Amino acid sequence: MTDERRPTSPGRRTLAIVSALLVAGLLATLAAVALARASEGEPVRSARGFSGPPSGSSATIWAVGDAAAPTEAAEEVARLVNAKPLDRFLYLGDVYEDGTRDEFDRHYAPLYGDIRDRTLPTPGNHDAESFDEGYAPFWSQVSDGPVPAHYAEQVAGWKIVSVNSEDGVDADGAQVRWLEGQMAGPGKCRLAFWHTPRYSAGKHGDSANVEALWSAVEGRATLLVNAHDHNMQRMRPREGTLALIAGSGGNGLYPVRDDDPRLAWGDDRHYGALRLRLEPGRADWSFVSAAGDELDSGTVRCDPE
């Protein structure tokens, strides 16, 4: 038989050598970066955004905000959350006092760093000023890339949607249009969360600046979870949307106005967190004190998407 392979031209040989060198250099660089991160004590993570592996038919989720503070109460709430079964943790924002990288490292990481790879965060007002220096670089260690301003993932038959209430809240802005798209279509098994509530019977009261966010989810999401006011609140449902406030994470407590007619239940005496158990078509929720006592609970049902 005749070997009909053509001899490789000098130009092709040069290109192949250059390509091989470039690939080798890239691999060496990646290995060096990984080694450096590991030597600094920073875990090397695969790229995941804020989306973990495919979820099962049910999930346990804990949620709390205003919790990253150098207080004994914050430590007690963190022990509660870390000790319980947990598939996802919604951190509802605010690392005190100013959301700097140093404060993320000193006030947030010791409390919730061990569950960072299961955490879905959203920024609070205390994080906003130092967003690019604190929130973004801290969470980029989990996402292994730019931190999304807003994002969504599917968990146990529910769509969980994180929104930034501290920026991009104009009705005609990109984030609100994106949120409206996430709320479109059949079904209402959707859980939205952001930091600042539209309606609150607490110290901060109502926040008209997030009206566009509220309008996008009202009647389209079954659950809305917020923080900002340092207490626990269950508001009366509006158009089928139940709003729960869990800002009781440990940085002081704010009073609840019990006479607010929009309030179904409130607590300003206990630190604690919100527990959610999700499954297709249903969610069980409980406000739990730092001591582990169930303070208020209920069930909502929804049509799957």
Contacts of residue 282, defined as CB under 8 A and 6 or more positions apart, other chains included, come to 299, 300, 301, 302
Q: Residues 32, 44: contact at Cβ < 8 Å? A: no
Burial (Cβ within 10 Å: 0-12, 13-18, ≥19) of residue 249: buried
User: Among candidates 78, 136, 137, 89, which has minimal Cα distance to 116?
Assistant: 89
Question: Would you state the pLDDT for residue 209?
Answer: 98
Q: Residues 70, 182: contact at Cβ < 8 Å? A: no
Q: Residues 277, 270: contact at Cβ < 8 Å? A: no
From the CB of residue 60, how many other CB atoms can be counted at a distance below 10 Å? Answer: 16
In order, the DSSP letters of 98-160 are: T--HHHIIIIIHHHHGGGGGGEEE---HHHHTTTTTTHHHHHHHHHTSPPPSSEEEEETTEEE
pLDDT grade for 144, boundaries at 50, 70 and 90: confident
CA distance 124 to 275: 20
pLDDT in tens, 171-225: 999 999 999 999 999 999 999 999 999 999 999 999 999 999 999 999 999 999 9
pLDDT in tens, 157-169: 999 999 999 999 9
Q: Residues 230, 248: contact at Cβ < 8 Å? A: yes
Query: Can you tell me whether residue 289 is helix, strand or coil?
Result: strand
- Looking only at the bridges linking them, the beta strands covering 282-289 and 272-279 are antiparallel
Q: Residues 263, 235: contact at Cβ < 8 Å? A: yes
- Across the chain, what does the average pLDDT equal? 87
Instruction: Say what the pTM is.
Output: 0.83
Secondary structure element (H or E) that encloses residue 77, with its range: helix 72-83
What residue spans define the domains of the chain?
Answer: 8-44, 59-301
Considering the domain 59-301, what is its CATH architecture?
Answer: 4-Layer Sandwich (3.60)
Q: Residues 274, 63: contact at Cβ < 8 Å? A: yes
**φ and ψ at 237, to 5 degrees?**
-60, 145
What order of strands is seen across the sheet that includes strand 232-235? Answer: 151-155, 158-162, 190-193, 223-226, 242-246, 232-235, 263-267
pLDDT in tens, 69-107: 999 999 999 999 999 999 999 999 999 999 999 999 999
**φ and ψ at 40, to 5 degrees?**
-85, 0
User: Which is more confident, 145 or 132?
Assistant: 132
Residue carrying the six token digits 């990109």: 174
Query: Can you tell me whether residue 191 is helix, strand or coil?
Result: strand
Secondary structure element (H or E) that encloses residue 81, with its range: helix 72-83
Average pLDDT over residues 120-143: 94
How large is the greatest C-alpha to C-alpha distance in the chain, in angstroms?
96
